[in-house]
């Protein structure tokens, strides 16, 4: 492929399904290299209902030795309740994902001195971190949306930790009318679908009509984990799959460009 660096994505139409407030930078990177971008968020993020625990969150954190943030939304949601109140000096902070780390670094001065993380940047990788091997008797708080994976909780409890959850945001199905996606894609159909969560994947197929559902299942997908690939297969996806190098904007963008150069 003889595209210049500025046009490597020319002719590609990327369907970005990320939540609306997380699309801007990646959309900018893709359009700068010639792509058309269809912005169609398949998850809507809203703030969790405040409880007494949320309202006194800064004080409650004194009872924990480790706080885990599972996503950028978990960071934003937690600090919506914390405001500018400082975190306890003893509290270790753990993150899943490069984007989560970047979001927390903007909020916490000297983050790296108290940080727990390990590659790959997922739950399995975090559980391999040295600081989480000996947690018997420790209190751990996980910031997350509603429900979510249970792997972290189960494994940490098996290692003797007491684990609590703090729901700081909610993931909702966007309220589109029946023809929203058809109108969005009437000029150009997606050549690649960007999906960053299994829930978003299910939502996408629920938000489009039967004809588009069939077409999207035969369109290449970019995903951020092998676990998502397994979910895609179960949903009937039958086209190429690209697993992003990292779940960050830069990592996803690089993987899309590498895919386009091979196409």
Please give the pLDDT value at position 147. 78
Q: 237 vs 20, 93, 192, CA distance in Å?
A: 24, 37, 13
What are the tens digits of pLDDT across the range 137-183? 999 999 999 877 789 999 999 999 999 999 999 999 999 998 999 99
What backbone torsions phi and psi does residue 15 show, to the nearest 5 degrees?
-90, 110
Please give the pLDDT value at position 4. 56
Q: 89: which DSSP letter?
A: T
d(CA 187, CA 153): 46
Based on the number of CB atoms within 10 Å of its own CB, is 69 exposed (0-12), middle (13-18) or buried (19 or more)? buried
Q: Domains, the chain, ranges and CATH?
A: 13-43+173-262 (3.40.50.10090), 46-171 (3.40.50.10090)
Please give the pLDDT value at position 98. 84
Average pLDDT for 52-57: 96
Residues above pLDDT 90, as percent of the chain: 85
State whether residue 226 is helix, strand or coil: helix
Give the 3-state DSSP-derived string for 91-160, with helices as H, strands as E and coil as C.
Answer: CEEEECCHHHHHHHHCCCCCHHHCEECCCCCCHHHHHCCHHHCCCCCCEEEEEECCCCCCHHHHHHHHCC
Give the pLDDT band of residue 120 (cuts 50, 70, 90): confident
Q: Is the dihedral of CA 209, 211, 213, 215 positive or negative?
A: negative
Q: For residue 180, list its beta bridge partners.
A: none
What are the tens digits of pLDDT across the range 35-49? 999 999 999 999 999
State whether residue 35 is helix, strand or coil: coil
State whether residue 67 is helix, strand or coil: strand
Average pLDDT for 200-216: 97
Q: What is the separation of C-alpha 226 from the centre of its chain, rounded to a whole number of angstroms?
A: 14
Q: 143 vs 85, 101, 139, 173, 206, CA distance in Å?
A: 17, 14, 13, 21, 28
Q: 59 vs 63, 66, 80, 107, CA distance in Å?
A: 8, 14, 15, 18
Please give the pLDDT value at position 220. 98
Please give the pLDDT value at position 246. 84
Average pLDDT for 48-74: 96
């Amino acid at each position: 492929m003889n595209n210049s660096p500025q046009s490597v994505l020319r002719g590609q139409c990327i369907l970005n399904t990320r939540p609306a407030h997380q699309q801007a930078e990646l959309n900018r990177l893709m359009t700068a290299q010639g792509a058309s971008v269809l912005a169609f968020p398949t998850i809507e993020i809203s703030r969790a209902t405040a409880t007494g625990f949320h309202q006194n969150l800064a004080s409650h954190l004194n009872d924990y030795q480790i706080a885990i943030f599972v996503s950028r939304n978990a960071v934003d949601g937690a600090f919506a309740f914390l405001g500018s109140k400082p975190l306890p000096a003893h509290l270790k902070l753990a993150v899943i994902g490069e984007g989560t780390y970047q979001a927390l670094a903007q909020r916490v001065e000297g983050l790296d001195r108290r940080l727990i993380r390990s590659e790959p940047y997922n739950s399995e990788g975090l559980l391999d971190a040295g600081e989480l091997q000996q947690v018997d008797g420790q209190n751990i708080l996980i910031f997350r949306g509603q429900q979510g994976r249970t792997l972290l909780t189960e494994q940490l409890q098996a290692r003797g930790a007491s684990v609590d959850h703090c729901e700081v945001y909610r993931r909702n199905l966007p309220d589109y009318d029946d023809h929203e996606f058809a109108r969005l894609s009437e000029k150009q159909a997606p050549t690649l679908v960007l999906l960053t969560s299994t829930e978003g994947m299910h939502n996408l197929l629920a938000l489009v009509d039967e004809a588009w559902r069939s077409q999207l299942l035969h369109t290449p997908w970019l995903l951020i984990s092998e676990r998502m690939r397994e979910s895609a297969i179960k949903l009937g996806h039958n086209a190429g799959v690209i697993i992003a190098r990292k779940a960050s904007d830069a990592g996803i963008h690089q993987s899309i460009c590498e895919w386009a150069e091979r196409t």
